[in-house]
Amino acid sequence: MAAISFNCSVRSDTASFSSSLSPLSRQLLRRPLLSHGRFSDISISSHAVFPSLRRRISCQSSSAAPSVSSAVNGKAKENMKDFLHISDFDKTTILKILDRAVEVKALLKSGERTFLPFKGKTMAMIFTKPSMRTRVSFETGFFSLGGHAIYLGPDDIQMGKREETRDVARVLSGYNDIIMARVFAHQVVYVGDGNNIVHSWLLMASVIPFHFVCACPKGFEPDQKTVDKARSAGISKIEITNDPREAVRGADVVYSDVWASMGQKEEAAYRRQAFQGFQVDEALMEIAGPKAYFMHCLPAERGVEVTDGVIEARNSIVFPQAENRMHAQNAIMLHVLGL
């Protein structure tokens, strides 16, 4: 899927929950896969054998946990959870995951280090597409909760070239409790020129009600099927416009992304021309209002899609957003493993 740039505004209190969660494709392994992240490009898959367990976080070491019988393990295997698309989950589940992320974050910030739910567990991280934030946030988050993450770069696997994807899936599932994949494309997901972040917001709007406005140049609109899916849910107001000033007026959050994503650098000059007038600058944020936050999933090209002044402004939450993705990912993995 080709990613484009855009400006979007969100008018809803739920916008503060955002931490770069994105939909993932089922294509990577037809085994249980859990997905997260900038997320049209990221997948995670669970090979969990643990019973689903709802509880508040307790500060007990994992060694104090009761043993799980093989019978329970066998039953759990039949009910393994995946996180592939945000729209696969209902509102209650998504909000519970976000609440759990807040709890885990508070626990880690407090200095507590005895909550180790991932102790004895391993995660294979498949990267066909490099990403500093994705690797560091997953590896650090999994380690902080007791687990061990293994990085597998493009030359380590060459998935679909040196070895069939389904064979890689079976082998890695036998070794690891979770598989996360950061890939270039997802078939069965989106068709047409759209932006993965826009699509993630649209899919979220099909589950959690809020007012979402996407501003982009003509010809760069998000995939119509994804827009229709969000609108057909009937719970959110969805607007697609070519006027960024009208889009941000009265917004709670203004969100932007790079104008040429990885794999589109040869189009950079063309896109810079096409997106003239869509830069998020101080004047645009002034139209949004003094209470509007600015978000960006990073990396940002300062001076292109957003000015340096906007990123460094008091109402920019770009860097807390970057940190929060780690806590959201931890919560997703806890959910998928039933912990």
> Could you give the strand order of the β-sheet that contains 7-11, starting from the edge strand earlier in sequence?
237-241, 211-215, 7-11, 253-256, 293-296
3-state SS of 1-70?
CCCCCCEEEEECHHHHHCCCCCCCCCCCCCCCCECCCCHHHEEEEECCCCCCCCCCCCCCCHHHCCCCCH
Distances (CA, A) of 146 to 22, 140, 248: 25, 10, 42
Selecting among 8, 214, 216, 297, the annotated active-site residue is 297
Please, are residues 113 and 78 in contact by the beta-carbon 8 Å criterion? Answer: no
Please, are residues 172 and 179 in contact by the beta-carbon 8 Å criterion? Answer: yes
Residue 297 falls in the annotated catalytic set: yes
Distances (CA, A) of 281 to 6, 110, 276, 290, 338: 14, 36, 12, 14, 43
Q: Which two tokens stand for residue 122?
A: 């391993």
How far, in Å, CA of 205 to CA of 211, rounded? 8
CA atoms 261, 266, 269, 271: torsion sign? negative
Q: Which residues are identified as catalytic?
A: 297
